[in-house]
Chains A and B, each alone.
Chain A
């Protein structure tokens, strides 16, 4: 038989392009089967005083599978089907967030009545919409989703909600009212000494900490994430407010787009250093290893504010002047637990806007973890045990059952047991109404749109 090579080559090309363009690569359903045991999950969370107090209020021993469920499984089976999704961008943060969500859903008590499935989403809103529809058609009872846009996915979210599917989005938020937003974006972080910060927002506190490390002297570079995204706007706007409040004489020598990518941060910081070798500090977004490596190559050691990579935390441990504050991937696991509560127990009393706690780390409170689970106050893993780019913040007061192996594998550790939420516990993390506009583009009743002291549009009583 004579093969038509040209046709074969065309088919090859078309298939490859289609495959690379095609969204959601399903990694298959994973029925929960973690071994149950009577051991309790280690749960001594790192972190802040107020958050830790709240953590102790979650309901150890409460079995949501034994609760009266608001509705039977949509798929008609014995178990509720929940999906954990993350972006398919080869990013360790996304991988950790998804794995933490999968791991907790496979722990007792949830595994008795829940089947957890995981999906990867290509970073394209249209593909995310069609993927959501597929999950709804497959009988999903709940979907934990990373919203690619605050508004572009809303129609698909509303459609899913209308069919009785619970939607929780984590980290990035969505404005659709039926969606539960679980995010750190508007939270007030905890300071290294355990007290709550005076201002909310990561950007504000990162700039504030950077300027303190600089003694409010000298000028800085500002590295953006992806310019124009809602999170970058909030981080940048609030950082400028801190600059104005703390040290108005400090100049921004240059700004550049780091795109939340270490290689890009390194390239742009290297160029900036060539023009301004006397810079006194760098406000660096996610991908901060790039900023530090560029400084090292230039032989400079100056204060850097960065996010939560293990590399950066290790540098703090070794004495680099810096402040580490950023988005915790624990949000994936926390989002899944919120979802499981709403699906299994019901929505009564659960706020739609939940602020995830996080802690600022400096040389004063950086502490190496010695095991697989959180030990009091630990916030960085030993050199060589995890990759440089991996996020060190997998432990969180709201996710005491998290483990390093779970964050890597997406499976429940043998003997681990999840501590289920209660509505009362979650109510303690409800977002302050003054910050509602940032995540919902609307203010609650009795509030009107207005500027917050942190240079961010929010809500004021009116």
Chain B
């Protein structure tokens, strides 16, 4: 008979493959099913739209997923997005500075915010949502402060071309390539890097991570810094999409990123979850919003419908509910398993 530990060892790889495939197939079925409400679905345009909108969400979800994996929640995402967009737009359109330098300044500032978030959470054990909510208020205030009195800062043209969907490579919208790039980079960071493994181990058991000799405080700070970096990059992308640095730029994107992480099966504070599932869940949720948009229902009913669909998706895709794709088992630390074994697992 196969031992429990051996069985546990086999499940993660299958779950890391089955769940994202199922979610991606569902996303495709939703688009095909959209034919019922619009003759124009599915189409290459709808696929490009799906990947373009998903690009913004997965860029945010990359770091947010790791934060949730270790039991936190970063609510400063909208503030970081607004700040990085405002910095780049002001640097280029008001000060006339170079785009590269503007991007570097914006991203360095974003990482600094993440480091402060991570330091406060790690050192003082204060719930992350309090720290990050406070930080969000500060960042929005700073963004108001640095833009007030100036003409509304505009995006540099190259950023607009890259991220608005107007630019094409080989006839394909440039955001599609960035979607693939972010998905690959996220996979390498979360599944293949030492940093990612440390994050999973820390998420599954803080104590085990300490015993294994991992620098847990540094890992926490690094995760929050990565989350802020992702939000900063998303801020630059969204600046390109909207053309102007608006304070509300990130408001509509933070929650879809959290939803993608949850529907993808990440369990908060458990060390359980797969990046590829998050990406596939993002495609599913975005395809649902595209089809709901096509229903012609009034705005109120659309919101109700989307909420119901997300709830159903959570019930059937979460590993911690009785309806889930996988009823038992987890990549988390199994009984009798040592942290060293766990490290190999992730």
Q: Which residues of A contact B (CB under 8 A)?
A: 5-6, 9-10, 12-17, 19-21, 88-90, 92, 95, 224, 227, 252-257, 261-264, 266-268, 270-278, 289-290, 293, 296-298, 311, 385-390, 408-409
B123 contacts the other chain (Cβ, under 8 Å)?
yes
- Are B246 and A13 in contact, with the CB atoms below 8 A? no
Whether A297 touches B166, Cβ cut-off 8 Å, given contacts A16-B138, A275-B38, is yes
Residues of B within 8 A of A262 (CB): 242-244, 246
Residues of A within 8 A of B38 (CB): 275-276
Whether A20 touches B137, Cβ cut-off 8 Å, given contacts A90-B143, A227-B300, A255-B299, is yes
Q: Which residue of A lies closest to B296 (CB)?
A: A254
Shortest beta-carbon distance from A228 to chain B in Å: 9
- Are B242 and A271 in contact, with the CB atoms below 8 A? no
- Are B50 and A274 in contact, with the CB atoms below 8 A? yes
Residues of B within 8 A of A278 (CB): 40
Q: Which residue of A lies closest to B167 (CB)?
A: A297
Question: Given A20, A252, A275, A387, which contacts B244 in the complex, CB threshold below 8 Å?
Answer: A387
B101 contacts the other chain (Cβ, under 8 Å)?
no
Whether A267 touches B294, Cβ cut-off 8 Å, given contacts A227-B300, A289-B243, A290-B242, is no
- Are A13 and B131 in contact, with the CB atoms below 8 A? yes
Whether A263 touches B295, Cβ cut-off 8 Å, given contacts A90-B147, A276-B38, is no
Contact with A along B5-43 (1 / 0, CB 8 A): 000000000000000000000000000001001101101
Complex: A277 Cα to B130 Cα, angstroms: 44
- Are A17 and B137 in contact, with the CB atoms below 8 A? yes
Residues of B within 8 A of A293 (CB): 164, 242-243
Residues of A within 8 A of B298 (CB): 255
- Are B137 and A296 in contact, with the CB atoms below 8 A? no
15 A–B contacts from the bound complex (CB under 8 Å): A9-B124, A13-B134, A16-B134, A17-B133, A90-B140, A90-B148, A262-B246, A266-B241, A270-B49, A274-B45, A275-B38, A275-B46, A276-B40, A276-B294, A388-B154
Residues of A within 8 A of B52 (CB): 270
Question: Given B53, B136, B164, which contacts A20 in the complex, CB threshold below 8 Å?
Answer: B136
- Are B152 and A388 in contact, with the CB atoms below 8 A? yes
B135 contacts the other chain (Cβ, under 8 Å)?
yes
Which B residues between 276 and 315 are near A, CB-CB below 8 angstroms? 289-291, 293-296, 298-300, 302
Whether A273 touches B49, Cβ cut-off 8 Å, given contacts A389-B244, A390-B151, is yes
Question: Given B135, B154, B242, B252, which contacts A16 in the complex, CB threshold below 8 Å?
Answer: B135
- Are B45 and A13 in contact, with the CB atoms below 8 A? no
Q: Which residues of B contact A (CB under 8 A)?
A: 34, 37-38, 40-41, 43, 45-46, 48-50, 52-53, 120, 123-126, 130-131, 133-138, 140-141, 143-144, 147-149, 151-154, 164-166, 173, 238, 241-244, 246-249, 252, 289-291, 293-296, 298-300, 302
Complex: A224 Cα to B143 Cα, angstroms: 27
Shortest beta-carbon distance from A426 to chain B in Å: 32
Complex: A20 Cα to B79 Cα, angstroms: 12
- Are B137 and A270 in contact, with the CB atoms below 8 A? no
Shortest beta-carbon distance from B83 to chain A in Å: 12
Complex: A256 Cα to B306 Cα, angstroms: 13
Shortest beta-carbon distance from A252 to chain B in Å: 7
Shortest beta-carbon distance from A178 to chain B in Å: 33
Complex: A361 Cα to B144 Cα, angstroms: 31
Shortest beta-carbon distance from B200 to chain A in Å: 27
Complex: A323 Cα to B123 Cα, angstroms: 57
Residues of B within 8 A of A264 (CB): 248, 252
Residues of B within 8 A of A13 (CB): 120, 126, 130-131, 134
Shortest beta-carbon distance from B88 to chain A in Å: 15
Residues of A within 8 A of B124 (CB): 5-6, 9-10
Residues of B within 8 A of A89 (CB): 247-248
- Are B46 and A274 in contact, with the CB atoms below 8 A? yes
- Are B120 and A9 in contact, with the CB atoms below 8 A? yes
User: Which 4 interchain pairs have the tightest Cβ spacing?
Assistant: A20-B137, A387-B152, A275-B294, A16-B134
Residues of B within 8 A of A409 (CB): 149
Whether A275 touches B140, Cβ cut-off 8 Å, given contacts A5-B124, A9-B120, A256-B293, is no
Shortest beta-carbon distance from A439 to chain B in Å: 24
| A-B contacts besides A262-B242, A263-B246, A274-B48, 13 pairs, CB < 8 Å | A10-B124, A19-B137, A19-B141, A90-B143, A90-B144, A255-B298, A263-B242, A264-B252, A274-B45, A274-B50, A275-B294, A297-B166, A387-B153
- Are B299 and A256 in contact, with the CB atoms below 8 A? yes
Residues of B within 8 A of A263 (CB): 238, 241-242, 246, 248-249, 252
- Are A90 and B49 in contact, with the CB atoms below 8 A? no
Complex: A234 Cα to B41 Cα, angstroms: 33
Complex: A263 Cα to B164 Cα, angstroms: 11
Indicate the member of A257, A268, A270, A275 with the most B CB atoms within 10 Å: A275
Complex: A253 Cα to B293 Cα, angstroms: 9
Residues of A within 8 A of B238 (CB): 263
Whether A20 touches B299, Cβ cut-off 8 Å, given contacts A90-B143, A274-B290, A388-B243, is no
- Are A252 and B296 in contact, with the CB atoms below 8 A? yes
Residues of B within 8 A of A95 (CB): 148
Residues of A within 8 A of B247 (CB): 89-90
- Are A271 and B290 in contact, with the CB atoms below 8 A? yes
Shortest beta-carbon distance from B143 to chain A in Å: 7
Complex: A273 Cα to B52 Cα, angstroms: 13
Q: Which residue of A lies closest to B56 (CB)?
A: A267
Complex: A88 Cα to B144 Cα, angstroms: 9
Shortest beta-carbon distance from A224 to chain B in Å: 6
Residues of A within 8 A of B291 (CB): 275
Q: Which residue of B lies closest to A279 (CB)?
A: B40
- Are B290 and A5 in contact, with the CB atoms below 8 A? no
Complex: A385 Cα to B46 Cα, angstroms: 37
Question: Given A17, A255, A271, A408, which contacts B53 in the complex, CB threshold below 8 Å?
Answer: A271
Complex: A92 Cα to B43 Cα, angstroms: 38
- Are A298 and B137 in contact, with the CB atoms below 8 A? no
Complex: A276 Cα to B296 Cα, angstroms: 11
